Amino acid sequence: MQAIKTGLVQQSNGENIQANIKKLEENIRQLASKGVQLIVLQELHNSLYFCQTEDTDVFDLAEPIPGPSTERFGKLAAELGVVIVTSLFEKRAPGLYHNTSVVLEKDGSIAGKYRKMHIPDDPAYYEKFYFTPGDLGFEPISTSVGKLGVLVCWDQWYPEAARLMAMRGADVLIYPTAIGWESTDEEAEKMRQREAWVISQRGHAVANGLPVISVNRVGFEADPSGVTNGIQFWGSSFVAGPQGEILVQGSSNNEENLIVDVDLARSEAVRRIWPFFRDRRIDAFENIVKRYID
């Protein structure tokens, strides 16, 4: 497949999980009606971003894989003939939970899954309380639209993760995301944060000669504890081409369904003129696996 007609669902969520899922389904149907082949959803899309606090009751939201969400979105994928990239709170075993992206093939089957490898632990992003780091490695998921290098949110700051996906033959890098501003930050700081987020992922596109798809949620979500002023998710979902060029980008404050053609053939053309893989000094990279070099 030389080009993938791709859809991004940038959505705000509320406390009612069934209402959130219904809205997701409506957005997926809307995109499918326009001929989209690949649909990417945001991180933990069924619920509010619950990691603003540490609450043991929240573990009740987790589900097995396969489970209710893979069945529901799988049926939708089969009905519409689309590939869907989901992002779920996985209950693997008692006391063992992951932040897991599941890719559903256009026949409704599970094409593969990726468990988030890098887990943050910052004010309003207490993910280490909920998620065990992934153990599936950086393996692209083979689908009818290509090999999808699926990573999740905090993974997007790590060039090593993108590189390993590319080295494994990924056709595209995909990042379901939940990131935003704390309201007390000054406006200039907010802009620096969002631009750093975009630049980092565009850099992965350039360094690996691959398209990047990043889908973020949007809207305000309060901190249930009242310790912080909550998170204003900055949206700005985008797709970059293999030279880092922005192909489409959403707004910072509106729910949107974005559609773009992702040309996979350009990756080969770009890698021929920018042969970064050819010139990598793999004989001198042994220290990259160390935490720090004294």
Per-residue pLDDT of 214-243, as tens digits, reads: 999 999 999 999 999 999 999 999 999 999
Average pLDDT, the chain: 97
**pTM of the predicted model as reported, rounded to 2 decimal places:** 0.97
Contact 186, 18 (CB under 8 A): no
Query: pLDDT digit string (tens) for 82-131?
Result: 999 999 999 999 999 999 999 999 999 999 999 999 999 999 999 999 99
Cα distances from 86 to residues 25, 27, 152, 194, in angstroms, run 12, 13, 11, 23
Residues of the chain with pLDDT under 70: 1
pLDDT computed for residue 24 by the predictor:
98
**Domain spans in the chain, listed from the N-terminal domain onward:** 3-284
Residue 218, CB half-sphere, CA atoms under 13 Å: how many?
19
Work out whether the CA dihedral 27, 28, 30, 31 comes out positive or negative. positive
Share of the chain above pLDDT 90, in %: 97
CB atoms within 10 A of CB 250: 22
pLDDT at residue number 265? 93
Fold designation for 3-284: Nitrilase/N-carbamoyl-D-aminoacid amidohydrolase (3.60.110)
Omega prior to 66 cis, within 30 of 0 = yes
Q: Report pLDDT for 164.
A: 98
Euclidean distance between CA atoms 237 and 201, whole angstroms? 11
- Residues forming the active site: 43, 116, 153
Residue-level pLDDT at 185:
87
Which pLDDT value is given to residue 1?
A: 62
> Tell me, what's the pLDDT at 182?
87
